[in-house]
């Protein structure tokens, strides 16, 4: 999702609402839970190259290079 898309979606909502993230990804769930809530901790910009590890899991090689892109990172935490 692009920043402009996220802003457009959020701008249609009450600006006083709290924003929470959630996941149903089984790799991130606590035992016997159907979803996990995440709170936004920080939002920042960094550079990196999109990669896949040997296990084919998507990752980034952080840092500036001829192939790097700028990304907005939303850091989430599971305790709020």
What pLDDT, on the 0 to 100 scale, is given for residue 70?
Answer: 96
Query: How far is Cα of residue 71 from the mean position of the Cα atoms in its chain?
Result: 10
pLDDT attached to residue 80: 78
pLDDT digits (tens, 9 = 90+) for 37-67: 999 999 999 999 999 989 999 999 999 999 9
Helix (H) or strand (E) holding 68: none
pLDDT of residue 79: 86
Largest Cα separation within the chain, whole Å, is 45
Q: Where are the domains of the chain?
A: 3-77
Model pTM above 0.85? no
For residue 68, give both structure tokens: 């790097």
In the chain, the N- to C-terminal Cα span, in Å, equals: 25
**Helix H segments across the chain?**
3-11
């Amino acid at each position: 999702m692009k920043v402009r898309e996220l802003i457009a979606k959020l701008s249609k909502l009450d600006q006083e609402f709290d924003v929470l993230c959630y996941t149903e990804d089984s790799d991130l769930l606590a035992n016997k839970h159907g979803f996990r809530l995440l709170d936004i901790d920080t939002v920042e910009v960094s550079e990196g190259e999109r990669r896949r590890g040997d296990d084919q899991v998507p990752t980034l090689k952080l840092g500036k290079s001829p192939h790097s892109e700028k990304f907005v990172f939303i850091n989430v935490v599971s305790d709020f």
